Amino acid sequence: MQRRHPFSIGTSILSILVILGLAVMIYRFVNGLGAISNLSDGRPWGLWISFDLYCGVALAAGGFTLAGAVYIFRLEKYHPVVRPAILTAFLGYTLVILALLVDLGQPWYIWHIIINWNVHSPLFEVGMCVMTYTVVLALEFSPAVFEGLNRSNLPVVRDINWRVPWGVIRAIQIPLVIAGVVLSTLHQSSLGSMLLMMPTTLHALWYSPILPILFLVSAIAVGPAMVIFESTLSNRVFGHRLETDILSGLAKIVPYILGLFLLLKFFELMAVGEIGLIFTAYPYNLLWWGEIIIGSVLPIILFSIPDIRQSRKGVFWTSVLVIMGLIFNRFNVSMLALGMRPGYVYFPHWMEFAISIGLVADALLVVWLAYRFLPIIQHEEMAEVKA
Amino acid sequence: MTVAVLFDANRCIGCRGCQVACKQWNENDEAIPTEENGVDSKNLGSNENPPRLSAHTWTRIRFTELEYNGKFHWVFTKVQCMHCEHPACVAACPVGALTKTAEGPVIYDDNKCFGCRYCMVACPFGIPSFEWEDPLPWIRKCTFCMERLNEGLEPSCVKTCPTNALELGEREELIQKARERIAKAPDKYVDHIYGEKEVGGTSWLYLSPVPFKELGFPELDSEPVTVDAERAMGAVAPVLLGVAATMAGIYWLCKRREKISQDKSTKKETLK
């Protein structure tokens, strides 16, 4: 009982944030985007696109990297973290969709993208990937729900044989995982392609024809870091304990991917002869260095030290650096280093923050409910029963 | 054959008749920018007003005072959608609400748009505007008075211009005309037709007595801004198939390796 007390405080704070976000949302649909945001013709995309879309999608990368590692590369060791990773990816994508429903001028016409295709638009690719991959993630996660329902003792639910749909999903699991990897590859990179339309407004330190590749590589790097971050936190809150071996294994992969990211970034700048900008383009070079040092250089060094990889704290805080670096990078490319029309300024309105924070609170509440009522960590027994 | 408009800053007298005509024809005149109407308006220290383009102001005259070659200049330039030859907004729009017509104008269709505003972010000239205060908002920008063109009429701004600073014509012919004008009075014009080459060419062409940079025109390459995005989008289908095939292949290999090692261990056990 003692454990529950701090938790009810946490959930009530989350609930207040969710309600505040909902209230702002209602106000937005009655009065228009101008009433709740500082967005303008000079800065048409703001906090929601940078944080909810650009960071949200990248931070959901744990889902496809872990699913791919476990089901395609058969790295069974990481099986215990697949389900939490897929759950957070699914929630991440749901949040992206909810944020887009707030950000779009007329979200009730969102189905237009299904009938009016402009296959040359990177945003069309983004839209298609968001929709299809969210469905794939829901299916990938559905076994947990079926297992939960199977165990439940509710009147009608109990009488349905949940093993039937569960078996169907199991049968198509590998194609689902492959579809997830393909869609994520396209989706992560397409967020970079979106910026290719702005060669004149995105600062030369970031603009590059290989932006789609940089986006994909950095997302793959942040995937394991995000899984470390989430599972460490959920361990703390829910008391499950993951083996250090799993965490340090994940930590070992990250420096290679970050190293590739750094190399690509440097070589690209050298190839186009703009490497000098990292010293001369003040103040933008500070943003660039900040992102590189926090998100790539420090984590590569720290994760390469065996003692740090063996320490839960070390692994956790280094993952936090990777995540912060990625958020820094996505804010740089989609807001800070992206030019505005002359004569405009932008800082997010408090109601813009309220929406974004409210959505994150939504996700945390759902995570909390899922951990309480669904088999997220321990689910091997069920698989064995079936077999 | 595509239509274009040539604007000559040496002929413009800054009367802003084009602004008024645009507002009247496009029924934007209910939002006359005065503070009484609650619309942003401020004294910019010149006759320039409204201060910026908006969903209700699709064109305006920019006033620039500067010294160039030891001479004082007061230059008026008209700002509106440039109707690019390779428009970024058209390539960006996920639902195809913006199209480049065969005649030249870039037009917008309310019935397809859902308000994502990618066109506004992508436009290298910073033109499309959004109805921020409206709960049912659309994108708004200069239409080139497409419906007037279809009836054989000039755009309302061109029709109104009292000094022929605006001329409608065939694009190549107008470029020819502009060249002749520069050649005839090289001391009165800089040797640059803005819009001939910029981002692959635009349907609005400009002549000026001073460098365009001084007038707030963005300095742009002759390469369309859509090139890199087009290349990336061309790679989508091969990447899709390639990644799917690679993943299937890796799955098969890893599964096979597992099976072989399992067989080996069971064999060992039976031998024992």
What CATH code is carried by the domain that includes residue B70?
3.30.70.20
- Helix orientation angle between A211-238 and A173-195, rounded to the nearest 10 degrees: 120
- Residue A226 has which token pair? 């995000």
- Report the gap between the CA of A200 and the closest CA in chain B (Å): 7
Cβ pair A41:B218 closer than 8 A: no
Q: Cα–chain-centroid distance for residue B162?
A: 27
Contacts of B122 in chain A (CB under 8 A): 197-198
Residues B214 and B110 in one domain: yes
Which of A296, A299, A304 lies closest to A266 in space, CA to CA?
A296
> Quick one: DSSP state of residue B29?
G
Encode pLDDT of B77-92 as tens digits: 999 999 999 999 999 9
Domain count, chain B: 2
Which of A381, A67, A125, A162 lies closest to B239 in space, CA to CA?
A125
The verdict on residue B98 lying in a domain is yes
Which of A221, A280, A275, A286 lies closest to A251 in space, CA to CA?
A221
Q: For residue A182, what are the domain limits? A: 57-197+359-380
The verdict on residue B64 lying in a domain is yes
Residues B38 and B127 in one domain: yes
- Report the gap between the CA of A237 and the closest CA in chain B (Å): 35
Cβ pair B229:A68 closer than 8 A: no
Residues B127 and B162 in one domain: yes
What CA–CA distance (Å, rounded) separates B83 from B100?
8
The verdict on residue B230 lying in a domain is no
Residues B117 and B249 in one domain: no
What CA–CA distance (Å, rounded) separates A167 from A199?
49
The ipTM, to two decimals, is: 0.90
Residues B181 and B242 in one domain: no
Residues B130 and B183 in one domain: yes
The verdict on residue B87 lying in a domain is yes
The verdict on residue B192 lying in a domain is yes
Q: How many pairs of residues across A and B have Cβ atoms under 8 Å apart? A: 178
Give the nearest partner residue to A209 out of B228, B236, B254, using CB atoms: B228
Residues of chain B by 3-state class (helix, strand, coil), percent to 5: 35, 20, 45
Cβ pair A182:B247 closer than 8 A: yes
Cβ pair B233:A112 closer than 8 A: no
Residue B98, φ and ψ in degrees, nearest 5: -105, 135
Residue type, A139: L
Residues B218 and B125 in one domain: yes
Residues 6+ apart with CB under 8 A from B9: B75, B76, B77, B165, B206, B207, B208, B209, B215
Residues B219 and B239 in one domain: no
The residue in chain A having the minimum alpha-carbon distance to the alpha carbon of residue B251 is: A72
Walk along chain B (272 residues) and give the pLDDT tens digit of each residue. Answer: 799 999 999 999 999 999 999 999 999 876 665 666 665 666 667 778 888 899 999 999 999 999 999 999 999 999 999 999 999 999 999 999 999 999 999 999 999 999 999 999 999 999 999 999 899 999 999 999 999 999 999 999 999 999 999 999 999 999 999 999 999 999 999 999 999 999 999 999 999 999 999 999 999 999 999 999 999 999 999 999 999 999 999 999 999 998 888 888 877 777 66
* pTM, to two decimals: 0.92
Dihedral angle computed from the Cα positions of residues B181, B186, B189 and B195, in that order, rounded to the nearest 10 degrees:
60
Residues B133 and B250 in one domain: no
Q: For residue B210, what are the domain limits? A: 3-224
Contacts of B126 in chain A (CB under 8 A): 41-42, 341-342
SS3 B108: strand
What CA–CA distance (Å, rounded) separates A262 from A12?
42
The verdict on residue A258 lying in a domain is no
The verdict on residue A273 lying in a domain is no
Interface of B with A in 102-121 (CB under 8 A): 112-118, 120-121
Q: State the DSSP string of B192-255.
A: --BTTSGGG-BSEEEE-SS-GGGGTPPP--SS-TTHHHHHHHHTHHHHHHHHHHHHHHHHHHHH
The verdict on residue B247 lying in a domain is yes
> Quick one: DSSP state of residue B30?
G
Cβ pair A197:B97 closer than 8 A: no
Cβ pair A31:B233 closer than 8 A: no
Residues B176 and B258 in one domain: no
Residues B207 and B74 in one domain: yes
The verdict on residue B255 lying in a domain is yes
- Report the gap between the CA of A350 and the closest CA in chain B (Å): 17
